[in-house]
Amino acid sequence: MTIEKIREAMHQQPFISFLVRTVEGQVYEVRHPDFIATSTNGRIVTVFDDAGQHILDVRLVSELTYPQAQGS
């Protein structure tokens, strides 16, 4: 995964909720653009959810998915 793809998902208008999946199989839901941030150097993405704050290495993010789009 590239930081550009993540930033594209973060800044889409209108915003669509998406899932961040890691190579280890962990999944984090991003329900609002305020619940995700990237580092200035593009190596770290931070996701905030009900369980807390998750700091992820971008190189370990395997995919982004849009569950709402699948149901349309």
Nearest one of 33, 35, 57, 28 to 45, comparing CA atoms = 57
pLDDT tens-place string over residues 32-49: 999 999 999 999 999 999
Edge-to-edge strand list for the sheet holding 52-57 = 36-38, 44-49, 52-57
Full-model pTM: 0.88
Nearest one of 34, 72, 40 to 53, comparing CA atoms = 34
**pLDDT above 80: residue 63:** yes
In order of their start, the domains of the chain are 3-70 (2.30.30.100)
Question: In which band, very low, low, confident or very high, does the pLDDT at 68 lie, cut at 50, 70 and 90?
Answer: confident
What's the half-sphere exposure (Cβ side, CA atoms, 13 Å) at 20? 31
